[in-house]
Chain A
Amino acid sequence: MTQVIEVRNLYKAYDGVTVVNDVSFNVDEGEIFGIIGPNGAGKTTAIESVIGLRKPDGGSVSVLGLDPQTEARELGNRIGTQLQEAALPERMKVWEALDLYASFYEKTVPWEPLLEQWGLAEKRNTQFGGLSGGQRQRLFISLALLNDPEIVFLDELTTGLDPQARRATWDLVRAIREQRKTVVLITHFMDEVEALADRVAVIDHGRVLALDTPENLIANLNGETKVLFSVPNGFQAALLENVSGVSAVNQYDQQITVSGKGPLLANVAAALAQYNIAPADLRVQQANLEDVFLALTGRTIRN
Chain B
Amino acid sequence: MKSFLKLTYMELKLQLREPVALFFTLAFPVMVMVLFGFIFGNETEELLSGYGQVDLSVPGYIGMIVGTIGMLSIPTTLANYRDQGILRRLRATPLGSSSVLWSQVAAQVLMTAAGIILLFIAGLAIFDLRIPNGDLAIVPAILLSAFSFFAVGFVLAGVMPSARTAQAVGMAIFYPMLFLSGAAMPRYIMPDFVQQIAGLLPLTHVVILVEDLWLKGTWNLTSVAVVTVVLILGLVISRFTFRWE
* Interfacial chain B residues near A91, Cβ < 8 Å: 14, 17-18
Chain A interface residue bracket vs B: 20 to 34
Q: Whole-angstrom distance from the CB of A92 to the nearest CB of chain B? A: 6
Q: Whole-angstrom distance from the CB of A116 to the nearest CB of chain B? A: 23
B1-15 residues with Cβ-Cβ distance < 8 A to A are 2-3, 6-7, 10, 13-14
Question: Contact flags (1/0) for B69-94 with A, using CB distance below 8 Å?
Answer: 00000000000010011101101111
Question: Contact flags (1/0) for A53-97 with B, using CB distance below 8 Å?
Answer: 100000000000000000011101100010101111101100010
SS of B interface (majority) = helix
SS of A interface (majority) = loop
Pairwise interchain contact A106-B94, C-beta atoms closer than 8 A: yes
Question: Contact flags (1/0) for A103-129 with B, using CB distance below 8 Å?
Answer: 111100000000000000000000000
Q: Quick check: is A192 within 8 A (CB to CB) of the other chain? A: no
* Interfacial chain A residues near B7, Cβ < 8 Å: 100, 103
Residue ID in chain B nearest A77 by CB atoms: B94
Given A91-B18, A99-B6, residue A86 in contact with residue B89 (CB < 8 A)? yes
* Interfacial chain A residues near B95, Cβ < 8 Å: 104
Given A91-B14, A99-B6, residue A85 in contact with residue B85 (CB < 8 A)? yes
Q: Quick check: is A229 within 8 A (CB to CB) of the other chain? A: no
Pairwise interchain contact A100-B86, C-beta atoms closer than 8 A: no
Q: How far is A101 from B89 in the complex, measured between Cα atoms in Å?
A: 10
Q: Quick check: is A51 within 8 A (CB to CB) of the other chain? A: yes
Sampled A-B contacts (22; CB under 8 Å): A51-B92, A53-B92, A73-B94, A73-B96, A76-B93, A77-B94, A83-B89, A83-B92, A85-B88, A86-B85, A86-B86, A86-B88, A87-B85, A87-B88, A87-B89, A89-B81, A99-B6, A103-B2, A103-B6, A104-B93, A105-B94, A106-B94
Known: A83-B88, A86-B88, A87-B88. 15 other contacts (CB 8 A): A72-B94, A73-B96, A74-B94, A76-B94, A83-B89, A83-B92, A86-B85, A87-B84, A87-B85, A88-B89, A92-B10, A103-B2, A103-B3, A104-B94, A105-B94
